[in-house]
């Protein structure tokens, strides 16, 4: 009997990620958080601050996955076009959300007051709900299965914390990591055969080259703890039989 697997996509919006000026950190934090919610991140797209590009990605990914998260482009400046683009994708107008306006009035009361640029951050696709922002006033936005988050990673981290436990998901993917100094090319057969012998388990192989040492971390993943351990234990025994010391948790 196969379980329902819940899935998500992420769209990272921003010229600064594509130019290499800014190192994205949201994909990894959202991927880790989704897994704890029992949801698998299946696909990420990074697109420019360009309405047509955002609309295309939003309409494909919101239909393809159970959940869609976007990051970036919800600030107060002219290059922040995410809300307008998502509203265009949805075919709904953009409106000022009264609660978002009230939040921003409170937040900016001691910071020079609400001006037109700041009020932009109260704009939402009509029918949307807010996602609380514990660190900087301007809220995130939810519309159906779309979660519109900030570009600044610690603000998105706070929004994810607010959402924890509120999304329907399945069984979280469990994992166990085994590190060795083995070149992965010497134990490729063992990896493939161990995975094949353990239904419901996947083994990922992640080589590293550090301080002149060659090695690899093997990550065994499964939703069932007993199956996970049976597979990881078999892999560990196989690595040790081949003469490699194994470090639980990885190197």
Q: Which of residues 101-130 bind its own copies (CB under 8 A)?
A: 111-112, 115-118, 120-121
Closest distance to its own copies from the beta carbon of 41 (Å): 5
Task: Using the CB atoms, write b or e for 78-91: b if 16+ within 10 Å.
Answer: eebbbbbbbbbbbe
Instruction: Kindly tell me the burial class for residue 5, based on how many C-beta atoms sit within 10 Å of its own C-beta (0-12, 13-18, 19 or more).
Output: middle
Which helix (H) or strand (E) is 180 found in, with range? Answer: strand 174-180
C-alpha 201/C-alpha 182 separation (Å) is: 22
- Considering beta carbons, is residue 9 or 125 the nearer one to its own copies? 9
* Footprint of its own copies on 64-103 (CB under 8 A): 75-80
* Footprint of its own copies on 210-229 (CB under 8 A): 219, 221
Q: Which of 204, 224, 230, 238 binds its own copies (CB under 8 A)?
A: 204
208 contacts 143 by C-beta, under 8 angstroms:
no
Q: Which of 99, 164, 202, 225 binds its own copies (CB under 8 A)?
A: 202
Q: Please give the backbone phi and psi of residue 155, each rounded to the nearest 5 degrees, phi first.
A: -70, -45
Task: Using the CB atoms, write b or e for 30-53: b if 16+ within 10 Å.
Answer: beebbbebbbbbeebbbbebeeeb
The 168-187 site mask, x for binding its own copies (CB under 8 A), equals -----x-x-------xxxx-
- Considering beta carbons, is residue 92 or 174 the nearer one to its own copies? 174
The 22-61 site mask, x for binding its own copies (CB under 8 A), equals xxxx-xxxxxxx-x----xxxxxxxxxx---x--------
* Footprint of its own copies on 129-168 (CB under 8 A): 135-136, 152, 154-155
């Amino acid at each position: 009997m196969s379980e329902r697997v819940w899935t998500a996509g992420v769209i990272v919006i921003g010229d600064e990620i594509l130019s290499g000026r800014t190192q994205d950190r949201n994909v990894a934090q959202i991927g880790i958080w989704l897994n704890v919610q029992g949801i698998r991140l299946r696909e990420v797209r990074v697109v420019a601050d360009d309405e047509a590009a955002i609309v295309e990605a939003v309409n494909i990914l919101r239909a393809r996955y159970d959940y869609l998260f976007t990051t970036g482009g919800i600030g107060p400046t002219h290059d922040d076009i995410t809300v307008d683009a998502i509203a265009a994708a949805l075919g709904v107008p953009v409106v000022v959300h009264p609660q978002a306006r009230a939040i921003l009035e409170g937040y900016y009361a001691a910071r020079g007051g609400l001006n037109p640029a700041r009020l932009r951050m109260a704009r939402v696709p009509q029918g949307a709900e807010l996602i609380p922002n514990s660190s900087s006033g301007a809220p995130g936005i939810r519309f159906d299965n779309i979660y519109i988050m900030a570009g600044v990673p610690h603000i998105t981290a706070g929004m994810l914390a607010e959402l924890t436990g509120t999304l329907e998901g399945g069984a979280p993917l469990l994992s166990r990591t085994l590190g060795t100094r083995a070149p992965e090319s010497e134990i490729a057969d063992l990896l493939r055969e161990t995975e094949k012998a353990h239904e419901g388990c996947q083994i990922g192989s992640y080589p590293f080259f550090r301080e002149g040492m060659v090695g690899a971390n093997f990550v065994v993943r499964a939703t069932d703890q007993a199956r996970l351990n049976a597979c990881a234990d078999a892999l560990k025994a196989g690595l040790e039989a081949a003469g490699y010391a194994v470090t639980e948790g990885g190197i």
